[in-house]
């Protein structure tokens, strides 16, 4: 038995190294491929020694590096958030948006544009993050009411109800304010393009906080996944453990949504793929999700640049096209398993 555990640990560690190498390759592709052709040697030179007098160098430093960094950061955040929310709700169909994060961020961005006149993505970040945080706190508060505290079912119902309400308010504002709609729709589609390096700088501290909280809650996530009674028997305070995990989701998903808009299905798909490799142990599931999600996001972004040259398809559309069939197949498989 010990030898089996050692071999499994070695295999999973090797898998992480392979994934890290694949992510490095996807990062290079993201820097090298775009609507404008830039020689690969020039790309490397621009990364090491940027030249403001060179058009090709400016394309790399001002356009491709920021969108690649945001793809990496948003991917890490969404991968972790998806794995955590599926553990907290014990629902394999759960997506980070189940806590109302996307809807809260969307309404806050609309308010920022319509009421406060925000016109830049650097401004959207702060409104989006605040809206995501407030929405998640409201969902958790509502889900905590009544007997049993914040159970997975109550959290899911509260999140769905609040999401519907927030989307209604958002739509009400947009249909009466055409100018706000014109600005909001570019953020709403979910994209890595058009972002500058300041977005990544502003999001990085929040991402680091979220990653620390997430990795620190590995033990409690393993316990929560076994059910509340088992978690309690293992010495876990279920309410506190779920609150800490929910806080990690808020910070991570709020950061990703604020930087790149509501990117759907990434937080749903990635934990399932990671779980096929690692099993249910969150000590491995979280690191794999951290690497798989940015890999998926960067490859989807590169694909969007290639299939519609000289234009491009935004990454949010690509992930939706890839994720929707996956979601349907997963839902059908679970339905058949329950029959």
Per the CB < 8 A criterion, the answer to whether 264 and 326 are in contact is: no
- What distance separates the 2 farthest-apart alpha carbons in the chain? 66
Q: What is the pLDDT of residues 3-33, one digit of tens each?
A: 788 889 999 999 999 999 999 999 999 999 9
Whether the upstream peptide bond of residue 310 has omega within 30° of 0, thus cis, is yes
Per the CB < 8 A criterion, the answer to whether 81 and 253 are in contact is: yes
At residue 2, the pLDDT reads 64
Mean pLDDT in runs of 10 for the chain (339 residues)?
Answer: 80 95 96 86 87 86 92 94 87 74 87 85 78 86 77 79 91 87 77 83 90 93 83 84 86 85 86 91 95 95 86 85 76 53
Can you point out the beta strands (E) in the chain? none
Q: How far is CA 228 from CA 87, 120, 332, 338, in A?
A: 11, 44, 27, 22
What 3-state DSSP class applies to 130? Answer: helix
User: What are the sequence ranges of the domains in the chain?
Assistant: 12-338
3-state secondary structure string across 274-297? HHHHHCCCHHHHHHHHHHHHHHHH
At residue 334, the pLDDT reads 55
CA angle, 217 then 259 then 308, to 5°: 120
Q: Which residues are CB-neighbours of 242 under 8 A, at least 6 positions away?
A: 88, 150, 155, 224
Total residues found in the chain within this entry: 339
* Dihedral angle of Cα 55, 60, 66, 69, to the nearest 10 degrees: 180
Q: What is the pLDDT of residues 175-192, one digit of tens each?
A: 888 888 877 877 777 788
At residue 64, the pLDDT reads 92
Return the CATH architecture of domain 12-338.
Answer: Orthogonal Bundle (1.10)
């Amino acid at each position: 038995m010990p030898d089996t555990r050692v071999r499994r640990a070695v295999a999973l560690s090797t898998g992480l190294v392979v994934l890290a190498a694949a992510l490095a390759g996807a990062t290079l592709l993201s820097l090298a491929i775009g609507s404008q052709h830039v020689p690969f040697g020039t790309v490397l030179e621009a990364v090491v020694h940027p030249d403001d007098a060179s058009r090709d160098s400016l394309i790399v430093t001002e356009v491709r590096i920021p969108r690649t960094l945001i793809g990496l950061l948003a991917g890490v955040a969404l991968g972790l958030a998806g794995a955590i929310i599926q553990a907290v709700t014990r629902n394999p169909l759960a997506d980070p948006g189940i806590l109302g994060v996307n809807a809260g961020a969307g309404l806050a961005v609309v308010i920022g544009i319509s009421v406060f006149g925000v016109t830049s993505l650097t401004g959207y970040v702060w409104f989006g993050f605040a809206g995501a945080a407030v929405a998640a706190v409201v969902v958790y508060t509502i889900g905590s009411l009544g007997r049993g505290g914040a159970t997975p079912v109550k959290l899911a119902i509260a999140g769905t109800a609040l999401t519907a309400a927030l989307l209604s308010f958002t739509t009400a504002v947009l249909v009466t304010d055409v100018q706000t709609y014109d600005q909001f729709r570019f953020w709403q589609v979910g994209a890595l393009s058009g972002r500058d390096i300041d977005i990544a700088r502003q999001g990085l501290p929040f991402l680091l906080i979220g990653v620390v909280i997430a990795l620190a809650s590995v033990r409690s996530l393993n316990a929560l996944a076994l059910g509340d009674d088992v978690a309690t028997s293992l010495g876990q305070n279920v309410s506190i453990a779920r609150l800490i995990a929910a806080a990690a989701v808020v910070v991570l998903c709020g950061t990703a949504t604020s930087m790149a808009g509501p990117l759907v299905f990434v937080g749903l798909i990635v934990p399932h793929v990671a779980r096929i490799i690692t099993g249910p142990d969150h000590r491995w599931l979280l690191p794999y999700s951290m690497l798989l999600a940015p890999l998926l996001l960067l490859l989807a972004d590169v694909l969007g640049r290639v299939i519609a040259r000289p234009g491009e398809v935004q990454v949010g559309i690509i992930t939706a096209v890839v994720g929707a069939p996956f979601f349907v197949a997963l839902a059908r498989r679970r339905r058949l398993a329950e029959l």
